[in-house]
Structure 1
Amino acid sequence: MYVIKEMPEQVPQEDLDLLAGVETATVGHWRLLGFMDRNIQPLLPGRRVVGTAVTVAIAGPDSTLLHHATGLLRPGDILVVDRLGDDKYACWGGGVTVAAKAAGAVAGIVDGPCTDLSEITESDFPMWSRGLSPITTRLYDLGGGMNIPVCCGGAVVMPGDAVLADESGVLILPRQEVRAVAEEALAIQGNAANRDAILREKRHKLGDLSGASAMILAKLTE
C-alpha cells in the first residue's frame, strides 16, 4: 500500500536565507527539540544546507517509492527518508543521487546507510546518513508513505518543515519558528565572534568571560 500526499508548501526563501547563516551547534546551546541522532553524519565534509523537508518512509529491502519520489522533487527540497528501523540495506546510492540533484533537491538525509560514496562525491551532492553499506535495496513494490509525518534519527519531521544540516548534524524546525530561531542563533554567533577576538588578543580569559571562574571562586570561599 502506498500513501502519497500532496507536495508541501516550501519554506519562504527569505527565511531559508536567514537560516543559512546559522550553525546547528549554535541552536544546540539552548534548544533540545528537532535534532537528529548524532550518528546521522555528513558524507561530504564542510557542507551546510537549508531547505524544505519532503518525507518518505520505506521499509527494509525495498526502495520503489524512493525512486518515484525523486521525480516529484523541486528545487530547494531536501528528501528525508525514514527507514522504519532498518539499518542493513542502503536505499540511497549513485542513481538516486543523480536523480535527486537533477530535480533540484539540495540534499538527502537517510535514517540508515547509503552506498556508492564515490558517485555521491562526484555528484557533489550533500548527504547525511548512518554511514555506508554494500547491501542495497531492490524494487520489491512493498509500499510506503510520502509527505507524511516521519521519524528520522529520533526527530519528528513533518512535510514542509525547514531543514538545517551541517558538519555537526541535522536540525528540523517547524516553518513558523524558523525566523525566530535563526535571529537568536545569529545574535549568539555575533557575540561568540566578539568573545573569540578578545581571547585571541589575550584581553580576558575564557573563565572570566563565561562566568565559570567566578562560580568556582565563590564555591572555594564558602
Structure 2
Amino acid sequence: MYVIKDMPEQVPQEDLDLLSGVETATVGHWRLFGFMDRAIQPLLPKRRVVGTAVTLAIAGPDSTLLHHATGQLRPGDILVVDRLGDDKYACWGGGVTVAAKAAGAVAGIVDGPCTDLTEIEDSDFPMWSRGLSPITTRLYDLGGGFNIPVSCGGAVVMPGDAILADESGVLVIPRDEVRAVAEKALGMQETGKKREASVRDKVQKLGEMSGASAKVLAKLAQ
C-alpha cells in the first residue's frame, strides 16, 4: 500500500538564509528536542545545509517509493527517509544521489545505512546516514508513505519542516519557529566569538568568564 500526500509548502527562503548561519551545536545549548540521534552522521565533511523536509517511509529491502520520490523533489528540498527500524539494507546509493541532485535537492538524510560512498563524493551531494552497508534494497513494490509524518533518528519530522544539518548532526525545526530559533542562535554565536577572542587574547580566563571558577572556589571555601 502506498500513501502519497501533496508536496509541502517550502520554508521561506529568507528564513532559510538566516538559518544557514547557525550551527546545530549552538541550538543544542538550549533546545532539547528536534535533534536526530547522533549516530546519523555526515558522509561528506565540513558541510552545512538548510532546506525543506520532504519525508519518506520505506521498509526493509524495498526502495520502490524512494525511486519515485526523487522525481518529485524540488530545488531546496531535503529528502528525509524513515527506514522503519531497518539497519541492514542501504536504500540510498549512487543512482539515487544522481537523481536527487538532478532534481535540485540539497541533501538527503537516511535513518539507516547508505552505499556507494565514492559516487556520493563524486556527486558532491551532502548525505547524513547511519554509516555504510554493501547490502542494498530492491524494487519489491512493498509500499510506503510519502510526505507523511515520520520518525528519523528519534526526531519527529513533518513534511515542510526546516532542516539544519552540519558536521555535528541534524536538527528539525517547525517552519513557524525557524526565524526565532535562528535569531537567538546567531546572537549567541556572536557573543561566543567575543568571549573566545577575550580568552585568546588573554584578557580573561575561561573559568572566570563562564563563572565556573567562582563555583569551584566557593565549594573549596566551605
TM-score (norm 1): 1.00
Q: Deviations over 1:102-130 (max 9, x none)?
A: 00000000000000000000000000000
Partner of 2:59: 59
Give the Cα separation in 2 of the matches to 1:183 and 1:220: 39
- The alignment status of 1:147 with 2:147, answered yes or no, reads yes
Partner of 2:23: 23
Give the Cα separation in 1 of the matches to 2:207 and 2:154: 34
Q: Deviations over 1:132-153 (max 9, x none)?
A: 0000000000000000000000
Give the Cα separation in 2 of the matches to 1:2 and 1:203: 62
Q: Deviations over 1:8-30 (max 9, x none)?
A: 00000000000000000000000
Give the Cα separation in 2 of the matches to 1:173 and 1:119: 30
SS in 2 for 1:151: strand
Partner of 1:105: 105
Partner of 1:41: 41
How is 1:80-95 mapped onto 2 (pairs within 5 angstroms)? Answer: 80-95=80-95
Give the Cα separation in 1 of the matches to 2:15 and 2:9: 13
SS in 2 for 1:95: helix
- How many residue pairs end up in the alignment? 222
Give the Cα separation in 1 of the matches to 2:76 and 2:4: 20
Partner of 2:158: 158
Give the Cα separation in 1 of the matches to 2:52 and 2:188: 24
Q: Deviations over 1:67-91 (max 9, x none)?
A: 0000000000000000000000000
Deviation at 1:221, TM superposition (A): 1.3
* Identity of matched residues, %: 84
Give the Cα separation in 1 of the matches to 2:33 and 2:183: 17
Q: Deviations over 1:29-87 (max 9, x none)?
A: 00010000000000000000000000000000000000000000000000000000000
Partner of 2:114: 114
TM-score (norm 2): 1.00
Partner of 2:214: 214
How is 1:181-200 mapped onto 2 (pairs within 5 angstroms)? Answer: 181-200=181-200
Instruction: Indicate the RMSD between aligned Cα atoms, in angstroms.
Output: 0.3
SS in 2 for 1:79: strand
Partner of 2:172: 172
Deviation at 1:197, TM superposition (A): 0.5
Structure 2's unaligned 5+ residue stretches are: none
Moved over 6 A (4+): none
Partner of 1:73: 73
